[in-house]
Amino acid sequence: MGKRVSLTQYLVEQQRMHGHIPAQLRLLIEVVARACKRIAISVNKGALGDVLGSAGTENVQGEVQKKLDVICNEVLIEANEWGGHLAAMASEEMDGIYLVPNRFPQGEYLLMFDPLDGSSNIDVNVSIGTIFSVLKKDDAHAGVSEQDFLQPGSKQAAAGYCIYGPQTTLVLTVGDGVAMFTLDREQGSWVLTQDGVTIPEDTREFAINMSNMRHWAPPVKRYIDECLAGKDGPRGKDFNMRWIASMVADVHRILTRGGIFMYPWDKREPDKPGKLRLMYEANPMSFIVEQAGGAATNGHQRILDIQPTKLHERVSVILGSKNEVERVTAYHRDS
Ligand code: AHM
Ligand code: MG
């Protein structure tokens, strides 16, 4: 094995050689990574740490919160609030934005996160993760409000996720490609295990919750029907299907070997654009996927170009191997 590169070293080099990340952003990423280490420890303890099951509360979206959802949210806040790099935070598990208390120094960044994505998989010991997105506050005015967060995903300064699976892996982009770091448990450090991650443009693997098929819009139905028709159908090849119900795990597979992921609008809730959240799920994942050479749209528009109108906005998501995402998007245009 060659020389090991740590997360700190990677970030220092990004800062020094490529001028990509100011010191405050480097600190922010290191703090988030440290919080993910703590989360990994709780996730690993499972029943031994009394962290499984429901917390008996609901989040702003009316979803029942698991104990770990609440714990992870607290870990991320506690880790980040005092460092001086943040102006405010927002999370899937909090109704409004969280201002950095006055007793701590104020920074210029805004951090958004889904503290524990794939909540339905916690109790069944299947991979889950933490997703985060970083924006810079427009410094033209003092104070910070929800309005400061409502920037399109193309403005993200950094995005990443940590997957708690057979290995604990941190996947990061600061706008200069995608790097993966594996947690070395003995050393307690993040080690760079892949840089310049690329998603193959073509794939034979799709990920969608097939139980919703009868609710889909015609372009999505057409795309999946054609995949299912296999070698004898219009695509002329057989497709495989995977659905983990943890976006982090589905996206991680796509970064590793290609594929397309879809959580589209469906007619169960016609007024909602989709299930997934724009600010702390779709935007960070779209940034990562694009940085790895893939594509991400809502069927009509590049996700990173969407101007958000509220913090907990939802969005239809189609992302992964470029040619497949373009095909589904073209089917929406034709319909
Ligand atoms: P969560 O943030 O409450 O865990 O919900 C998001 C998850 C995604 O990780 C996953 O892709 C999707 O919900 C699965 O939904 P479903 O159970 O409808 O298949
Ligand atoms: Mg989530």
Ion ligand 2 — residues with CB < 5 Å: 114, 117
What percent of the chain has a predicted confidence (pLDDT) above 70?
99
Task: Decide: 209 in ligand 1 pocket, CB within 6 A.
Answer: yes
| 3-class DSSP assignment, residue 132 | strand
Q: Which ligand 1 atom sits nearest the alpha carbon of residue 246? A: 9
pLDDT value at 267 more than 90: yes
Average pLDDT for 230-240: 98
Tokens (6 digits) for 198:
């690329």
Handedness of CA 306, 330, 288, 39 (dihedral sign): positive
- Is 74 annotated as contributing to ligand binding? no
Cα 226 to chain centroid, rounded: 28
pLDDT in tens, 248-262: 999 999 999 999 999
Instruction: State ipTM.
Output: 0.97
CA 323/CA 199 separation, integer angstroms: 11
Whose tokens are 């990173």? That residue is 304
- Is 286 annotated as contributing to ligand binding? no
Task: Decide: 69 in ligand 1 pocket, CB within 6 A.
Answer: no
- Is 139 annotated as contributing to ligand binding? no
Task: Decide: 245 in ligand 1 pocket, CB within 6 A.
Answer: yes
pLDDT value at 326 more than 80: yes
pLDDT value at 22 more than 80: yes
Q: Residue 101 has what DSSP assignment?
A: P
Whose tokens are 């007619």? That residue is 267
pLDDT value at 19 more than 80: no
User: What is the overall mean pLDDT for the chain?
Assistant: 94
- Is 117 annotated as contributing to ligand binding? yes
pLDDT value at 54 more than 90: no
User: Nearest to residue 282, comparing CAs of 322, 258, 250, 259?
Assistant: 250
pLDDT value at 89 more than 70: yes
Which residues neighbour 20 within 8 Å (Cβ) at sequence distance 6 or greater?
Answer: 14, 174, 175, 176
- Provide the pLDDT for residue 64: 77
Q: Cβ distance 168 to 10 under 8 Å?
A: no
Domains and CATH numbers, the chain: 7-195 (3.30.540.10), 205-334 (3.40.190.80)
- Provide the pLDDT for residue 66: 82
Half-sphere exposure of 114 (CA within 13 A, CB side): 28
pLDDT in tens, 178-221: 999 999 999 999 999 999 999 999 999 999 999 999 999 999 99
Å from CA of 104 to ligand 2 middle? 29
pLDDT value at 275 more than 90: yes
- Residues across the chain: 335
Task: Decide: 119 in ligand 1 pocket, CB within 6 A.
Answer: yes
